[in-house]
Structure 1
Amino acid sequence: MRASRLVSLLLLLQARGRMTAQELADELEVSVRTVYRDVESLGAAGVPVYADRGPAGGYRLLGGYRTRLTGMTSGEAAALFLAGMPGPAADLGLGAVLTAAELKLRAALPADLAEQGDRIRQRFHLDAPGWFRDPESTPHLTALADAVWSERLVEVRYQRWKRPREVTRVLAPLGVVLKAGRWYLVARADTQVRTYRVAAVLALTVLDEGFTRPADFDLAAFWREWTDRYERGVYRDEARIRVTVAALEFMAYVFPPAMSRAARAAAGEPDADGWVRTTVPIESVRHGHTELLKLGAQVEVLAPAELREMVAASAHAMAALYPPAAGASQAPAAGGSVRR
């Protein structure tokens, strides 16, 4: 355990340069006193670790010192090969770079670790897009990624859902995110950080003017907060429904995950006919109408009244298109009886 920590301390100093004892302790999750002892041990072993005094001081390695020691375990090597994403890397124009990096990594690893990496590649595969969804066309993704990297402003013509449908904006691109097979641009517009669908970018010009990236901006933290806020804001209304047990289970296959999860969580006990009452979040009455019709005769809308009337109107219109044959009896909905 201590040997692994010494290797980690050495690699931290090699990768980051000067670090204080407190910074090292935080990274290694040990006490500052333990860091002092570990640094002494590295020095005794011949590693040129120096301490700079003063407010801006800390520990550092002698200039130019590098170690070829990685201390990599079999699990760490496997994780690196598993993290390779050829599809997204190709989207960003980095497919060949990723392939070259993996070849170099494999060549640098001992034979047993390289062999384990090969086994991982043969047993695990990442396919990011959702089912039944064609890949989005993102012709401007590579240029946007370059602008993120070089910290240059971009002018985009963008198609949005509200009017005016097409707008032109000058953005400071801070990062790109792949979510469920779709690429998003996180960028600062004026003083606000916003999210844009890359597939909705109609035209792009990378400007000569650069920008200063906020030192405290954390892309992963921003994305977590934004997605949480987005999901909370989408479902502003709710519908009270009566549904068969079979349809409640079927929701997971035809409803967005947030809707099906909430409906199952709020479901009561089945009645004698196998129906349950629950509440399902909806974006709007029209959205609820579209989604609930997927359950056919296995759902009854109880409220709001406007949604119930809309579903009833659709049911009557469909019944008019498919009148029962002479002498045919009305069959009950699957999973329960028809309520009179």
Structure 2
Amino acid sequence: MSDTSIRHLQTLSLIPREPRRISSTEIRRQLAELGYGVTHRTVQRDLQRLSTVFPLVCDDRELPHGWSWKRDGAAIQLPHMDPATALTFCLVDEHLKEMLPRGVITRLAPHFDQAQAALEKSGSKLAHWRDRIRRLPRYQPLQPPEVAQDVVEVLYEGLLEGRCLEVAYQPRHGEERVYRVHPLGLAFRDAVAYLVSSLWDYEDVVPLALHRFKCANLLDEQARVPAGFSLDDWVQKGGFDYQPTAEPVELEARFAPEAGYHLQETPLATDQRLEYEPGNSGWLRVRAEVENTHQLRWWLLGFGDKVEVLRPSTLRREMASVAEGLSQLYG
């Protein structure tokens, strides 16, 4: 393959899909970084020639003019998409789209279509793989809240580019508020997505539900990341959960056989200890060090009368109070 042909392929790979665009000047700069020292005029001629073969469009409504792949234009596919690659694209399309910036989804849309077609034509056993796998939630699934896609796109762009945002946000309680947001990460919990952020000049990190953003504007100011911040560390330290105590607690609880059996296969913690109670009741006594969170309480309450918390005493009293309240409700 000639150097010119390779340069043309490199040029095509630099052009984004609508509504994003790239100028011929920027294409020339990026080609130079790749080792192709061509003139601006050469790049312009290449683009004109390529647009007669590929679905490229030039937006000349303002300077500098910008080039894009047509929104619904077929993407070039080199090399041919094999069944394994096609299956991966299809699974991303089904399960991961909400985790990707809107611009990425737009650019990948033709590949998703090609992946589906490639699987259907391949005759491979992988073509039926998606029909044979399912992920099932343990708890009652909830419908995701409605989000304003135009607002979410701005939020994702701010996170991607590391820039501040000025937003209107509706807290769970109270009136709508205006925040200056430093986006730090995205987190997905069940049916709700959160923008993990700090506000104004505060060091505190908070999760903001995407569906509560009413509008968002991208600012030129760079987002400030708190010293030593790590999204993984923040989540593992209970960032999503109010913790009555900062330290983990030593949980001791009794589980009925049908409720506790799964803990033999999926332990509650790495230091979990299990033992059957004397007699033939089949009840299990479980001990483990766990984070003292609301999620722990939800989990325990989900077993109803099939679990009894023994320690810590504060948690036992909480469970007893809930049980008393339920008894009053149901008479």
TM-score for the superposition, normalised by structure 1: 0.51
Q: Does the C-alpha gap of structure 1 residues 131 and 242 become closer, same or farther in structure 2, counting only changes over 3 Å?
A: closer
- In the other structure, the counterpart of 1:76 is 85
Partner of 1:248, secondary structure, is: helix
Q: Does the C-alpha gap of structure 1 residues 203 and 304 become closer, same or farther in structure 2, counting only changes over 3 Å?
A: same
One-letter amino acid matched to 1:277: R
Unaligned residue ranges in structure 2 (runs of 5+): 1-5, 14-32, 39-45, 47-75
Contact 2:256 2:306 in 1 (8 A): yes
Which of the numbers 269, 278, 285 marks the counterpart of 1:277? 285
- In the other structure, the counterpart of 1:244 is 256
Give the percent of matched residue pairs that are identical in Structure 1 and Structure 2. Answer: 19
- In the other structure, the counterpart of 1:262 is 269
One-letter amino acid matched to 2:236: D
One-letter amino acid matched to 1:298: K
Unaligned residue ranges in structure 1 (runs of 5+): 1-9, 18-58, 324-340
Q: Does the C-alpha gap of structure 1 residues 146 and 125 become closer, same or farther in structure 2, counting only changes over 3 Å?
A: farther
Computing the radius of gyration from Cα coordinates, the structure with the larger value is 1
Contact 2:145 2:211 in 1 (8 A): no
One-letter amino acid matched to 1:135: P
- Structure-2 separation of matches of 1:149 and 1:318: 46
List per-residue Cα deviations over 1:266-323 (Å, max 9, x = no partner).
3223432322222364636x88776545434433332333444454466567668889
Which of the pair is proportionally richer in helix? 1
- In the other structure, the counterpart of 1:295 is 303
- Structure-1 separation of matches of 2:133 and 2:119: 23
Contact 2:170 2:214 in 1 (8 A): no
- In the other structure, the counterpart of 1:304 is 312
**CA displacement at 1:134 relative to structure 2:** 1.6
**CA displacement at 1:80 relative to structure 2:** 2.7
* 1:209-248 → structure 2 map (5 Å cutoff): 209-212=219-222, 222-230=230-238, 236-248=248-260
TM-score for the superposition, normalised by structure 2: 0.52
Q: Does the C-alpha gap of structure 1 residues 319 and 179 become closer, same or farther in structure 2, counting only changes over 3 Å?
A: closer
Contact 2:83 2:127 in 1 (8 A): no
Which of the numbers 169, 172, 180 marks the counterpart of 1:170? 180
- In the other structure, the counterpart of 1:21 is none
- In the other structure, the counterpart of 1:45 is none
List per-residue Cα deviations over 1:115-163 (Å, max 9, x = no partner).
65992686378879874212123223233234445665322244567x9
List per-residue Cα deviations over 1:194-249 (Å, max 9, x = no partner).
45333363433305x3134789x9xxx94433322337976643432223222213
Q: Does the C-alpha gap of structure 1 residues 287 and 177 become closer, same or farther in structure 2, counting only changes over 3 Å?
A: closer
Partner of 2:141, secondary structure, is: coil
Q: Count residues with an aligned counterpart.
A: 256
Partner of 1:261, secondary structure, is: coil
Calculate the aligned-residue CA RMSD, in Å: 5.5
- Structure-2 separation of matches of 1:91 and 1:97: 11
**CA displacement at 1:63 relative to structure 2:** 5.2
* 1:149-228 → structure 2 map (5 Å cutoff): 153-158=164-169, 168-173=178-183, 176-187=186-197, 189=199, 190=201, 194=205, 196-199=207-210, 201-207=212-218, 209-212=219-222, 222-228=230-236
Q: Which shifted more, 163-172 or 74-83?
A: 163-172
Contact 1:269 1:276 in 2 (8 A): yes
Contact 2:254 2:284 in 1 (8 A): yes
Partner of 1:230, secondary structure, is: coil
- Structure-2 separation of matches of 1:320 and 1:201: 35
One-letter amino acid matched to 1:119: A
Contact 2:184 2:198 in 1 (8 A): yes
Q: Does the C-alpha gap of structure 1 residues 279 and 204 become closer, same or farther in structure 2, counting only changes over 3 Å?
A: farther
**CA displacement at 1:188 relative to structure 2:** 5.4
Contact 1:241 1:277 in 2 (8 A): yes
One-letter amino acid matched to 1:304: P
Q: Does the C-alpha gap of structure 1 residues 307 and 154 become closer, same or farther in structure 2, counting only changes over 3 Å?
A: closer
Contact 2:143 2:191 in 1 (8 A): no
- Structure-1 separation of matches of 2:119 and 2:262: 50
